[in-house]
Structure formats: C-alpha cells, structure tokens
Amino acid sequence: MTTTAGTGDGLSDPGLGAIMSERRRLIDLGYRLLGSLTDAEDVVQETYARWYAMSAREQQAIESPGAWLMTVAGRICLNLLGSARARRETYVGDWLPEPLPEPTEWITGRSGGTDPADRVTLDESVTMAFLVVLDAMTPAERVAFVLHDVFRYPFGEVAEIVGRTPAACRQLASSARRRIRAAQSPAGPSSQQAGIVRRFRTAWEAKDIDALIGLLDPDAVATADGGGLAVTHPRPLVGGEQIARAYARIARLSGDRTAFLECTVNGLPGLVARQDGALATVFAFEIAGDRIRRIWAVRNPEKLRPWRIDREDVP
C-alpha cells in the first residue's frame, strides 16, 4: 500500500479534506466491527492520530491514504475485539450492540450536534440481528468477513490486517458467511414489518396478552441490556407466551408513565420508550414472516447517547 517516497523537503500534505473525507467509511467500519459508536469514534481518533504523527515525507509515501487509514483502523479494531471478550466477562447482564437511529434523528454522542460525516451508513449490515451474529464470531472471522463481504476488500489486503494468509482469511470469511446464513430468517417488506411492530405496540399498551402472543413466534427470545445501570430481566425471556406475560406486567407496573414512539432502529422498524419524559429503552426487532422472532431491548443509558427524540414527537 506504499510507494517510494518522493524527493525533496517540500513535500505537500495529501490534504486535510481528502484525509477527513474518509471519516464516514472509518466510522462505518468501526461500528460494524465493534457494535459501538463510541468505540468506533475512538478508533477513528486513534487512526487519525497515527496519520498525523507521521512526517510529511512519510505521508507522501502512502500511495492510497484512504486504504492506509482503513488498514490501520481495521488493525485497531482487531486488537479491541480481542480485549473486548475479557471485558464482557465483567459486564453486568447481556451485552447488545449500540442501537442507531435514522440519520434525521442523529446526534453525535460527544459533539451534541448533527454532523453528516459522523453518521453510520444504514444498510442490512447494521441491523441488530446482523450485529448480534457478528458479535458471536471470533475477532478474526468478524474482521475478515466485514472487510471482504461488506467493504469489498480483496483477501490479499484483508490478510495484511488480520495477520494471516489470504487463504486463511478466505476460510474465515466463509465460516462467518455460514453463520450469517444459518441465523437469517425470511423477512417481509419494511412496510409489513412496521405494521407488525405497530400492532405489537398497540397490544402492549392495551396489556392484551392474547394479542401479544399472536404477534410473537412461539420460540421468540427477548434480550435486554441494562449494563448494570438500568433494571432489566436478568436473563433472556424465551417463548412467546412468557414474553407476552412479562411485557404485559411491565405495562401494568409503568402505567401512564411510559410512552412509545415508532421509529427506525438500525435501518428497520423499532420502538423507543420514554418514561416520565426521559428516554428509557430502544427496542429492535427481528421479524420472520408475520411473527416477531427476536426482541432486543437496550436500556444501558451509555448506549443511548446517539438518540434525540423531542418531547413533542412522543404520541
């Protein structure tokens, strides 16, 4: 990815604009690999710090600054994924990826203002179901698959990042692909999924257990992430009837203190709950056919910083 350095002492900087234009792709990569916008932002900052730690001559020797930045970011992510497994052992409860809103509702967790360069491109590779499957992979599998299948990097370049041979990276991506296919469920059009989520919301607000059971797959699973900072069920709820009864009980206990908003979560129809006017939970769904197969409820407030939902938007 490098060429012979230029000559002379007056080498020109590749340009701040050209370098910073890669920020969106770096955020995209970091979020898909780490499942956390905060961690993705840290990776991008560290990547740029390494770029600007080089001399102008060293920078000029880089044939493709964008490719160099992606390579460095990928290596940083790989290292973080290795240490993340150890950190998860002390995490309270189940860990879920950080949910993302639609770009129109986006704010960065740090700047507090809208910045198009910091938005994650929403597509099928950032759905909650996709990210949960990625999280179950080994770090090398995850990096090889995301770089090759999502970002279309050739295995030769993936090998430089992962530190394995191209053939080994091809096998890693193939293994990851099988995991993705095994976990995929046939989903209907987004409008159909939105209708199911709307009916779920209506039934939940009405505490209608029978209606909830009818909308849930008999083998449905509901997982919550509070991170020890918010009250959740200590273990995933398994079975449509168990979930329906537990959610109806939550509705009875919260009474009129909770309001729901239909919104987009990681590119698909979801719900947001506000309790006493404050953002409390973001719900993502996996829908197979006309039934809800998975519910992911993120309550850890540290993972909800990207969200901005104005009070007047709450029904």
Does some domain include residue 125? no
Condensed to tens digits (0 to 9), the pLDDT of residues 67-114 reads 999 999 999 999 999 888 778 888 999 999 999 998 665 433 333 444
Does some domain include residue 75? yes
Condensed to tens digits (0 to 9), the pLDDT of residues 286-313 reads 999 899 999 999 999 999 988 864 434 4
Cα separation, 197 vs 203, whole angstroms: 10
Does some domain include residue 106? no
Condensed to tens digits (0 to 9), the pLDDT of residues 269-291 reads 999 999 998 999 999 999 998 99
| 3-state SS assignment for residue 276 | coil
Residues 309 and 202 in one domain: yes
Does some domain include residue 249? yes
Q: Which of 68, 95, 122 is the last residue of a domain?
A: 95
Q: Report yes or no: 213 and 197 within 8 Å, Cβ to Cβ.
A: no
For 254, counting Cβ atoms within 10 Å of its Cβ (0-12 exposed, 13-18 middle, 19+ buried), the class is: middle
Q: Which of 95, 116, 146 is the last residue of a domain?
A: 95
The CB density around residue 256, as the number of other CB atoms within 10 Å, is 6
Does some domain include residue 277? yes
Who contacts 194 (Cβ-Cβ below 8 Å, separation ≥6)? Answer: 262, 269
Q: Report yes or no: 29 and 46 within 8 Å, Cβ to Cβ.
A: no
Q: Kindly calculate the radius of gyration of the chain based on its CA atoms and give it in whole angstroms.
A: 22
Q: Which of 40, 72, 95 is the last residue of a domain?
A: 95
- Count of domains observed in the chain: 2
Does some domain include residue 207? yes
Domain boundaries, position 299:
190-313
Q: Between the CA of residue 247 and those of 87, 117, 237, 252, 282, what are the distances in Å?
A: 30, 38, 10, 9, 14
Which residue shows structure tokens 């990097």?
Answer: 153
pTM of the prediction?
0.87
